[in-house]
């Protein structure tokens, strides 16, 4: 089966999600039509297996621009015609809108799956009028056909609350067997509180900075932001270290040496970085938002918070009680293995691909062995 992935936001979580999909479903032929952003890694092609076709979608921009979006739509229609896939899997809101419109014009809506990865109208960094516009655009695109598959139950619930029929398949990651994971923690009695991600409005760096500032008089506590971004200058607390962009292997190294995973995100789909933290048996202290509520069982593997004082109190309890950290961290690992592993995710999409593609799978000619 030929699967065409279309992604506007080709960086961070969406990039790694699409790359992971191509790795765990090798039985399919994968074509990736993608935009590029300033934080798209220069070596992004190395994340994909050999044989995956990567096609740049150069006309695309993130913001709404009628002229540029029209050019991007025409380019996408041409690429979809040329590739003629059995499945068209759209990732993120911009690709979801243009992709569903293009597929409808080509008569290919029955082949379409749309995964928002943090649906646009959840954004907290735009005015309410723009949020309303995003709701209307999602509803309009939904009329073009296709299946909407969120990456968490809470994201699907938000979509359904606006009249969009959405199912969900939980994001999942591949996690090493426990015996293969070594975690040299607290070798110098330093407690490390970590966040992984792009320093952007979605991740709410001002809030992270405010929380870290409450601990500046405790030198045994440090805050680590693994990543970089346009809002790095908002992280001014002296106890915060920013790693800059690092390789996936270095992300793993940082998480292995961490003690607590903190996220101040304003909205999410279902964050892969938090799943990675769960793999490394970290307790979670996460802001209460879509995507976070799916992976925290309060008091069992971590906590959800709504206010700075609440986050500070929860972090202080975990800093002061290593045994509680270990107990919650082990529960994080168990929850990941039970409900958010890569095989469950792949099996869910595999069934969906077969269901949608069975009526128009192109037969591969048999080899002439004479």
Are 17 and 160 part of one and the same domain?
yes
Residue 48 placed within a domain? yes
The verdict on residue 365 lying in a domain is no
Asked whether 225 and 235 are in contact (CB, 8 A), the reply is yes
Q: Same structural domain for residues 260 and 114?
A: no
The CATH number covering residue 348 comes to: 3.40.50.2000
Q: What is the pLDDT along the chain (370 residues), one digit of tens a residue?
A: 999 999 987 877 899 999 999 999 999 999 999 998 877 888 889 999 999 999 998 867 667 778 888 999 999 999 999 999 999 999 999 999 999 999 999 999 999 999 999 888 888 777 888 889 999 999 999 999 999 999 999 999 999 999 999 999 999 999 987 655 555 565 568 999 999 999 999 999 999 999 999 999 999 999 999 999 999 999 999 999 999 999 889 999 999 999 999 999 999 999 999 999 999 999 999 999 999 999 999 999 999 999 999 999 999 999 999 999 999 999 999 999 999 999 999 999 999 999 998 766 554 333 333 2
* Predicted pLDDT at 363: 46
- Is 363 inside any structural domain? no
**321 and 196 within one domain:** yes
The per-residue pLDDT for 127 is 82
Question: Do the Cβ atoms of 225 and 240 come closer than 8 Å?
Answer: yes
The answer to the question of residue 40 being in a domain is yes
**For residue 362, is it within any domain?**
no
Q: Is residue 364 part of a domain?
A: no
Q: Which domain holds residue 240?
A: 178-339
Domain for residue 262, yes or no? yes
Same domain, 191 and 293: yes
Question: How many separate domains does the chain show?
Answer: 2
pLDDT of res. 359:
64
Q: Which of 336, 271, 348, 199 is nearest to 13 (CA)?
A: 271
pLDDT at 8: 87
Q: Which residues contact 191 (CB under 8 A, 6 or more apart)?
A: 220, 221, 222, 259, 260, 319
Hey, which bits of 291-357 come out as E strands? Answer: 302-305
Q: What is the pLDDT of residue 186?
A: 53
Question: Whole-angstrom Cα distance, residue 343 to residue 55?
Answer: 27
* Structure-block tokens of residue 279: 């793999």
Q: Do residues 113 and 196 both lie within one domain? A: no
For residues 275 and 280, give the distance between their C-alpha atoms in angstroms, rounded to a whole number. 9
164/109 same-domain check = yes
Q: Do 162 and 83 share a structural domain?
A: yes
3-state secondary structure of 244: strand
Same domain for 122 and 198, yes or no, is: no
In this structure, the answer to whether residues 157 and 14 fall within a common structural domain is yes
Q: What pLDDT does residue 22 have?
A: 97
Do 146 and 200 lie in a common domain?
no
The answer for 73, left when phi > 0, alpha when psi is -120 to 50, beta otherwise, is alpha
Phi-psi region of 163 (alpha: psi -120 to 50; beta: other; left: phi over 0): left
182 with 306, same domain?
yes
Q: Residue 112 has what pLDDT?
A: 98
Residue 243 has which token pair? 């790693």
In a domain, 279, yes or no: yes
Same domain, 198 and 305: yes
The pLDDT value given to residue 62 = 66
């Amino acid at each position: 089966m030929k699967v065409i992935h279309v992604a506007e936001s080709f960086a961070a979580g969406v990039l790694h999600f699409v790359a992971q999909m191509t790795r765990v479903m090798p039985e399919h032929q994968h074509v990736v039509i993608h935009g590029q952003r300033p934080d798209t890694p220069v070596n992004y092609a190395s994340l994909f297996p050999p044989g995956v076709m990567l096609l740049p979608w150069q006309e695309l921009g993130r913001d709404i621009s009628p002229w540029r979006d029209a050019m991007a739509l025409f380019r996408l229609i041409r690429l979809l015609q040329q590739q003629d896939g059995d499945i068209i899997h759209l990732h993120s809101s911009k690709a979801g809108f243009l992709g569903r419109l293009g597929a409808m014009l080509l008569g290919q809506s029955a082949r379409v799956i749309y995964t928002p990865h943090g649906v646009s109208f959840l954004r907290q960094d735009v005015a309410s009028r723009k949020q309303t516009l995003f709701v209307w655009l999602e509803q309009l695109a939904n009329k073009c056909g296709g299946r909407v598959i969120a990456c968490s139950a809470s994201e699907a619930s938000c979509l359904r609350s606006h009249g969009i029929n959405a199912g969900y398949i939980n994001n999942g990651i591949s996690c090493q067997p426990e015996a293969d994971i070594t975690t040299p923690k607290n070798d110098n009695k330093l407690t490390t509180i970590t966040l992984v991600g792009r320093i952007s409005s979605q991740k709410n760096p001002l809030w992270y900075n405010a929380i870290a500032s409450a601990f500046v008089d405790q030198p045994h506590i440090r805050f680590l932001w693994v990543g970089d971004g346009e809002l790095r200058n908002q992280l001014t607390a002296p106890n915060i270290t920013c790693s800059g962009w690092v390789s996936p292997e270095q992300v793993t190294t940082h998480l292995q040496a961490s003690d607590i995973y903190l996220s101040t995100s304003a909205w999410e789909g279902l964050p892969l970085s938090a799943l990675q933290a769960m793999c490394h048996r970290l307790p979670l202290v996460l802001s209460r938002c879509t995507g976070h509520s799916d992976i925290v069982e309060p008091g069992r593997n971590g906590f959800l918070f709504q206010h700075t004082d609440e986050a500070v109190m929860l972090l202080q309890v975990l800093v002061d009680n290593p045994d509680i950290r270990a107990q919650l961290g082990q529960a994080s690992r168990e929850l990941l293995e039970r409900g958010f592993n890569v095989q469950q995710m792949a099996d869910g999409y595999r069934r969906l691909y077969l269901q949608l593609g069975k009526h128009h799978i192109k037969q591969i000619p048999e080899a002439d062995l004479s």
